[in-house]
Amino acid sequence: MKPYQTIPIQDCGEPLISIPLEQFSVEKPHPYQKLGACYGQKSPHYLRSRVVEKLIEAQTNLQEQYPGCKIHIFDAYRPVAVQQFMVDYTFTSLLQKKGLSLEKLSPHQQENLWQQVYQIWAIPSDNLATPPPHSTGAAVDITLVDDYGQLFDMGGHIDELSERSQPNYYGDSTDSKAKSYHQRREILNQIMTQAGFLRHPGEWWHFSLGDQMWAWQSQKVMAYYGRVING
């Protein structure tokens, strides 16, 4: 169990609503649906209503400070079944990348691979007390695009299994290119925190508002978004 999962949840009952995608830049096709993940009757472009409101506020903040730029939405709501799909997909991809066979793995090797997977993927828990953040409709994975619709180079990719995913990976670098990566990550963090979001301690692209991780980071006694039931 991770520290933030000890925070109790009292779900406020706020509905999932569709993100007004026309106001943002959007990853198309959706990265997980492209791989075969099934969202059922819901969409990955949903969030709780207040979270959508705050995401629009963050977009407004961005465009006031950096005209022409937009938030680029990579992923938002994610049912537990999709979380499981992506965890399994990532584990299988690691096996293939390393040229390993599951049948020939030692328990130690298998444990080491799972630890790598869970560096960026929350455990797909069905326990309502420990929901994966994205299953609450309160977490969103994003980056930025410029006024030509081109993605900013953040010095690493979303969902990348490497140290480069750490938000401050480039923070102490004296290299000009690395410093620009850090500056862009800080712009993203700034416009989101101004709207009330908090960034995942280990992922430069992941922001949430109202879930357990957000409550833990902001020292709240309770989270007000839990797992979306039937999601």
Active site residue 203: yes
Of the residues 22, 103, 163, 203, only one is catalytic, namely 203
Give 223's strand partners: 9
Find, among 54, 66, 75, the residue nearest to 186 by Cα.
Answer: 66
Q: Which of 80, 184, 95 has its CA nearest to residue 136? A: 80
Q: Look-up: residue for tokens 């819901």?
A: 42
SS3 197: coil
What do you get for the CA distance between the two ends of the chain, in Å? 22
Look up residue 66 and give its two tokens: 């950096």
Q: What does DSSP assign to residue 3?
A: G
**Distance between CA atoms of residues 20 and 33, nearest Å:** 19
CA atoms of 15 and 42, how far apart (whole Å): 12
Active site residues: 203
